[in-house]
């Protein structure tokens, strides 16, 4: 599991450790790790040109000490001081002693640099870059590799929000723990390749944000045993599609058949189309409460105005996943009254409608939005997007690390609903089903898109779910 911790938690852990170590020891650890990462990014150190952008805090201190190490190994190091009178004095002295110099012409030095190190601001930052820093960051981006110290300056460490301009880095070296913003867009996209330098912090067991990795997913995936039959493995009921949108039914069933449940029961008007594609489906014209037993329901993709079916499904005492059209008729009260789990899977536009705000506001503040929805509905919420998030009423927010922008294609959400609902039927909690479903779905899309990337169909994502599953468990 990759974990991330809020600034408050990281600061508390730092204080606790600093009290036990000689002054400056933590910064030296950070700087040593940073210098190694700079060397690796450059390929060689001797004879290279490095520019440090240094702000008024300890983030700049890290950059200065790392710069001193690089200068001692033969790099030409120039520092641009954004706030000369407040720069870290010890770091500046160390850089000078190692042969580094203060830049007299920032833009010219940046134009000749091989590497620009962004030590403008770290976890003490507020808001986007100030104008002078923004200009330097743009220049750096145009002419050199950019490595961010702890965080790309200008991004919010806790939420991943970018309010104004921010550095766009090729790589980010972060200290002690990943910060939530490094895993969540829009900030994640500014961070480039991530590297964690261990500085010896002791962190709480429960993280603020976590991202499943292959091994975590392999542990969570349902596995049939010798005693399993199709009913014991779970039956997922799918209420999807309509005369107008029969394809949504086919795609949701395509996902559900590959999500680990023993059987898929389709309920709705597109049974013929579903059977034509997947003869293994059990079908029923409805209503859902007459369709037979299921261990979970998926409702919503392409159902149009079928609000009666929604009320019936929500009245069932099994986990329910509500997606797409199903979200249009949902009230917080209906969900809060349920005893079994509910998983809502909106994209940003649907989340915005549920929250009564603009889509852009949700995109800009994804973490806050998903947490707020989960609290309002007392449900688990999977917010789809470039970094899909899964949040419950409490506990860490899960970030999906396997997403790809090729997934932004019609019908891919229907496939996700199906596979995730199937995992619910197989007995996973809503948090696990949501995060495992998103993980497999993302991997399947990457496989469908191929190594170089290419447009994909939602049905191809479904076709690759089996390969994604094997990829995780092999």
Ligand X SMILES: NC(=O)C1=CN([C@@H]2O[C@H](COP(=O)(O)OP(=O)(O)OC[C@H]3O[C@@H](n4cnc5c(N)ncnc54)[C@H](OP(=O)(O)O)[C@@H]3O)[C@@H](O)[C@H]2O)[C@@H](O)CC1
Which residues in this chain contact ligand X in the complex, by CB under 6 A? 14, 18, 26-27, 30, 55-59, 62, 120-127, 129-130, 133, 149-150, 175, 199
Name the residue nearer to ligand X (CB basis): 129 or 399: 129
What is the number of the residue whose Cβ is closest to K ion? 153
Evaluate whether 176 touches 198 at the Cβ level (below 8 Å).
Answer: yes
Name the residue nearer to K ion (CB basis): 153 or 459: 153
Residue 463 C-beta: closest distance to ligand X, Å: 44
Is 126 labelled as part of a ligand binding site?
yes
Tally of CB atoms within 10 A around 226? 4
**Which residue in 147, 149, 294, 314 binds K ion (CB under 5 A)?**
149
Name the residue nearer to ligand X (CB basis): 191 or 271: 191
Q: What is the DSSP string of 128-195?
A: S--HHHHHHHHHHHHHSEEEEESS-TTB-TTT--B-S-----SEEEEESSB-GGGTSTTHHHHH-EEE
Q: How far apart are CA 367 and CA 370, in angstroms?
A: 5
Residue 156 binds to K ion (criterion: CB under 5 A): no
Residue 201 C-beta: closest distance to ligand X, Å: 9
Is 128 labelled as part of a ligand binding site?
yes
Burial class (CB in 10 A: 0-12, 13-18, 19+), 227: exposed
Q: Which does 118 bind (CB under 5 to 8 A by kind): K ion, ligand X, none?
A: K ion
Is 61 labelled as part of a ligand binding site?
yes
Residue 72 C-beta: closest distance to ligand X, Å: 19
Q: How far apart are CA 136 and CA 472, in angstroms?
A: 42
**Which residue in 9, 48, 56, 153 binds K ion (CB under 5 A)?**
153
| CA torsion through residues 444, 450, 451, 452, sign | negative
Give me the half-sphere count of Cα atoms (radius 13 Å) on the Cβ side of residue 400.
Answer: 29
**Choices 108-116, 152-160, 186-194, 440-448 (CB under 5 A): range interacting with K ion:** 152-160
* CA 437, chain centre distance (Å): 14
What is the number of the residue whose Cβ is closest to ligand X? 122
Q: Which does 295 bind (CB under 5 to 8 A by kind): ligand X, K ion, none?
A: none
Name the residue nearer to ligand X (CB basis): 120 or 209: 120
Is 150 labelled as part of a ligand binding site?
yes
Evaluate whether 114 touches 140 at the Cβ level (below 8 Å).
Answer: no
Is 176 labelled as part of a ligand binding site?
no
Strand, coil or helix: what is 98?
A: coil
Residue 15 C-beta: closest distance to ligand X, Å: 8
**Choices 144-152, 242-250, 341-349, 374-382 (CB under 5 A): range interacting with K ion:** 144-152
Residue 192 C-beta: closest distance to K ion, Å: 12
Q: Which does 14 bind (CB under 5 to 8 A by kind): K ion, ligand X, none?
A: ligand X
Q: Give me 294's structure tokens.
A: 């299921």
Q: Give me 212's structure tokens.
A: 């499943």
Is 326 labelled as part of a ligand binding site?
no
**Choices 153-161, 290-298, 433-441, 443-451 (CB under 5 A): range interacting with K ion:** 153-161
Q: How far apart are CA 335 and CA 91, in angstroms?
A: 56
Q: Which does 348 bind (CB under 5 to 8 A by kind): K ion, ligand X, none?
A: none
Evaluate whether 100 touches 71 at the Cβ level (below 8 Å).
Answer: yes
- C-alpha closest to that of 233 among 241, 221, 224: 224
* CA 321, chain centre distance (Å): 21
Q: How far apart are CA 43 and CA 86, in angstroms?
A: 32
Binding residue ranges for AMP: 384-388, 413
Binding residue ranges: 58-62, 118, 122-128, 150, 153, 248, 302, 347, 384-388, 413-414
Residues forming contacts to K ion in the complex (CB under 5 A) are 118, 148-149, 153
Binding residue ranges for K(+): 59, 118, 153
């Amino acid at each position: 599991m990759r974990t991330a911790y809020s600034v408050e938690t990281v600061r508390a852990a730092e204080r606790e450790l600093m009290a036990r170590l000689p002054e400056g020891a933590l910064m030296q650890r950070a700087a040593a790790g940073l210098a190694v990462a700079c060397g690796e990014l450059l390929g060689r150190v001797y004879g290279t040109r490095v520019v440090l952008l240094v702000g008024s805090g300890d983030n700049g201190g890290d950059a200065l000490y790392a710069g001193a190490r690089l200068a001692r190994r033969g790099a030409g190091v120039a520092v641009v001081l954004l706030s000369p009178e407040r720069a870290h004095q010890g770091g500046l002295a160390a850089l000078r002693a190692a042969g580094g110099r203060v830049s007299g012409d920032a833009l010219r030095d940046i134009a000749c640099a091989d590497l620009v190190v962004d030590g403008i601001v770290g976890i003490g930052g507020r808001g986007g870059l100030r104008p002078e820093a923004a200009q330097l960051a743009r220049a750096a981006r145009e002419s050199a590799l950019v490595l961010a110290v702890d965080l790309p300056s200008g991004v919010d460490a806790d939420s991943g929000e970018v309010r104004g301009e921010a550095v766009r880095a090729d790589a980010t070296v972060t200290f002690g723990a990943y910060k939530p913003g490094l895993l969540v867009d829009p900030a994640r996209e500014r961070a480039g390749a991530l590297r964690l330098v261990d500085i010896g912090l002791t962190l709480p067991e429960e993280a603020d944000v976590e991202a499943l990795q292959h091994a975590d997913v392999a542990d969570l995936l349902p596995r049939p045993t010798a005693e399993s039959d199709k009913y014991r493995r779970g039956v997922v009921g799918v209420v999807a599609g309509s005369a107008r949108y029969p394809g949504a039914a086919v795609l949701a069933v395509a996902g559900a058949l590959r999500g680990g449940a023993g059987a898929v029961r389709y309920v709705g008007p597109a049974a013929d189309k579903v059977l034509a594609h997947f003869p293994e489906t059990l079908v029923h014209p409805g209503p859902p409460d007459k369709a037979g037993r299921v261990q979970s329901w998926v409702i919503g993709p392409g159902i149009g105005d079928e609000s009666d079916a929604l009320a019936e499904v929500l009245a069932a005492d099994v986990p329910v996943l509500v997606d797409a059209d199903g979200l249009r008729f949902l009230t917080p009260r209906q969900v809060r009254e349920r005893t079994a789990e509910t998983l809502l899977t909106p994209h940003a536009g649907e989340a915005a409608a549920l929250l009564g705000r603009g889509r852009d506001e949700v995109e800009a503040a994804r973490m806050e939005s998903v947490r707020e929805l989960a609290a309002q509905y007392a449900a688990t919420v999977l917010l789809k997007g470039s970094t899909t998030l899964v949040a419950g009423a409490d506990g860490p927010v899960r970030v999906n690390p396997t997403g790809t922008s090729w997934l932004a294609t019609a019908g891919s959400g229907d496939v996700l609903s199906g596979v995730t609902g199937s995992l619910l039927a197989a007995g996973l909690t809503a948090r696990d089903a949501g995060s495992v479903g998103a993980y497999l779905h993302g991997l399947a899309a990457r496989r469908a898109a191929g190594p170089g990337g290419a447009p994909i169909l939602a049905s191809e994502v479904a076709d690759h779910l089996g390969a994604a599953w094997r990829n995780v468990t092999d």
